[in-house]
Amino acid sequence: MKSSIVKEALKYFVNPVTEAFPAAKPYFPKKYRGPPVYDQDKCMGCTACAHVCPADAITVIVKDGKRALEVWYGKCTFCARCEESCPVDAIHLMEEFGIPSEDKLVFKSTVTHDMVKCRLCGKPFITIKHAEWVKKNLLEKMSDVIGSEEIDFFLTVCRDCRHEIENIPGFRKLLIRVLIKGEKVWV
């Protein structure tokens, strides 16, 4: 009986228990969820990823007419909700673990976009790429109800200013036409 226990115990000391990292590349199973990384070319800065992040790992910073989205890897739980919510497939979880930063002290990834300023109050409120995406989708789905000029108006006036002018008769008629159509416009 003693010999079987000794054999069993020695079995764990013969081969290494851990990977030979960093000398050898570690094994990651399929569908492994590593840190999220933005595709700068695809991302439009809509902030959907930040709104669904349960860990609050994605922060939105608006400064000097630019919107920055930052993923803080120390807070990220790798749940993939950001990846699932992105309407343009611009954020993906890496399939291997490695913080995508050259600076080992900075554990974050950032994507930055220029913003459209409201033509009435001058406050930045939507990214240029997001405005272009919204216009394209509205024209595809609602071109018989709303024209390009009207869409341009919506996308150059912020929510606060639109709220202030909602009693203007022409604007009210446009809203009624869109509501009567009753079509799902956003995605």
Same domain assignment for residues 106 and 122: no
pLDDT tens readout for residues 46-95: 999 999 999 999 999 999 999 999 998 888 888 899 999 999 999 998 87
Q: Give the gyration radius of the chain's Cα atoms.
A: 25
pLDDT tens readout for residues 16-54: 656 666 677 766 667 667 788 899 999 999 999 999 999
Domain membership of residue 146 (yes or no) is yes
Same domain assignment for residues 141 and 178: yes
Last residue of a domain, one of 60, 93, 115: 115
Last residue of a domain, one of 93, 115, 137: 115
pLDDT confidence of residue 186: 44
Domain membership of residue 26 (yes or no) is no
Entry pTM:
0.69
Same domain assignment for residues 37 and 102: yes
| Number of separate domains in the chain | 2
Q: What is the span of the domain harbouring residue 171?
A: 118-187
Same domain assignment for residues 102 and 134: no
Same domain assignment for residues 103 and 75: yes
Same domain assignment for residues 92 and 134: no
Same domain assignment for residues 35 and 110: yes
Last residue of a domain, one of 115, 133, 162: 115
pLDDT tens readout for residues 147-161: 788 888 888 888 888
Same domain assignment for residues 92 and 139: no
CA 68 to chain centre: 11
Same domain assignment for residues 48 and 109: yes
Domain membership of residue 5 (yes or no) is no
Same domain assignment for residues 179 and 131: yes
